[in-house]
Chains A and B, each alone.
Chain A
């Protein structure tokens, strides 16, 4: 069964600290993996997209890694800011089929001053 699991479910960190969010998936055959940031009550916004051949991709203070062999991805946030408080959603695409996206339930990050 194709699944995407994220951990932790929630996380509280101090402003300025780094953190790492995890995403494990069983989706196969794998096409690509996306990380989205979703502010409370807002639509998800794309942070990164990684294909099978990419193992690292950065977007400012956000760095995503992908290990396609172990089917794991992480999102590392450096020097966190209050505005990083949001849910971070991992989304994995299946290579076959027209429309197979699998969403994780997200990690809720709270950055406190």
Chain B
């Protein structure tokens, strides 16, 4: 089954404790992306990757890092989490060159609820 898998789904952590949210897709997609979703706001892009070893900042990259060493994996790293990073996070992937403007379907993971206290 084609899917985007995120882990963990739920996490409560303390300020400053590094954490990684993993994302894996089994569809051989070139394009992958991370979003955060907060109440009253649309999804906002954190980082995206057009292919292996190619990553770029989205709209809200501060406080986050990513890496794309393999095509299927795109982990999101919070080096020193802060309470304002409490949010619902989504990983997404898209086929081909993955340009969203191309009209390719974007597949989202199930989300990771992160609370930083």
Contacts and interface: CB of A to CB of B under 8 A. Distances in A.
A93 B6 CA distance: 25
A103 B43 contact: yes
Interface stretch (B11-19, B67-75, B76-84, B103-111): B103-111
Interface in A33-58: 34, 36, 41-46, 49, 51
Interface in A18-46: 31-32, 34, 36, 41-46
B37 to A, nearest CB: 9
Interface residues of A, number: 28
A61 interface: no
B50 interface: yes
Contacts of B88: 41
A96 to B, nearest CB: 8
Contacts of A34: 106
Contacts of A93: 100-101, 103
A42 B56 contact: no
B99 interface: yes
B11 to A, nearest CB: 14
A105 interface: yes
A42 B90 CA distance: 9
Interface of A: 4, 31-32, 34, 36, 41-46, 49, 51, 89, 93-106
Interface of B: 4, 33, 40-45, 48, 50, 56, 58, 88, 90, 99-103, 105-111, 113
